[in-house]
Chain A
Amino acid sequence: GAVVSQHPSWVICKSGTSVKIECRSLDFQATTMFWYRQFPKQSLMLMATSNEGSKATYEQGVEKDKFLINHASLTLSTLTVTSAHPEDSSFYICSASPDRALANYGYTFGSGTRLTVV
């Protein structure tokens, strides 16, 4: 149980274009999902918290107009990297949990999306 699916697994785009990444909870409803970014040989850094039916909460230093998050349903959150530039190239990962209190279930992560901007 608690499967999180993320697509695409990798994407190459031209500088200046936008890219959308999808994160789906397959067997549970997720009112909240999290988006992380991971640069090579580094740890995961939280970018934003995606809330179903409301605005996302962004971490300090993350441009909300550049990284658009939409959480329109209880099983789908999308991250759109707008006007992508080479420095946006990274590994983007989402996570969610069926247990709001984390009392019996922790966070499951998607398989990640490798974004390369050329």
Chain B
Amino acid sequence: GENVEQHPSTLSVQEGDSAVIKCTYSDSASNYFPWYKQELGKGPQLIIDIRSNVGEKKDQRIAVTLNKTAKHFSLHITETQPEDSAVYFCAASIGGTSYGKLTFGQGTILTVHP
């Protein structure tokens, strides 16, 4: 089955700096890669996703890049703010014909210091 590795496990940055979280996946058939932000005691919230027919996607301060050959994808947050502090999870799935299962990375605790 799919295996998703996520690094780093913790990331501490100063407000205004950029943050980068990286994930690798094992199943070359995976073609859907979402990123979720989870605040304490809440369910994960989708912040951005990318599909394998695209190499990069950006939404304001958040961007995701995908390298299918190397089987890795990354989350980039620019101009970080204290409210970006949360746990971030990457995931991978096989979409296309039916609901594909999400396999999650281990999570990254991001702390943005004012």
A contact set with B: CB distance below 8 Å: 6, 32, 34, 42-46, 49, 93, 95, 97, 100-103, 106-112, 114
Contacts and interface: CB of A to CB of B under 8 A. Distances in A.
B32 A102 contact: yes
Contact of A101 (B89, B96, B101): B96
Interface string B32-66: 10101000011111100101000000000000000
A34 to B, nearest CB: 7
Nearest to A51: B99
Interface of B: 32, 34, 36, 41-46, 49, 51, 89, 93, 95-107
A109 B36 contact: yes
Given A97-B99, A101-B95, A109-B43, A43 B106 contact: yes
A50 to B, nearest CB: 10
Nearest to A91: B41
Given A34-B102, A107-B102, A102 B107 contact: no
B42 A111 contact: yes
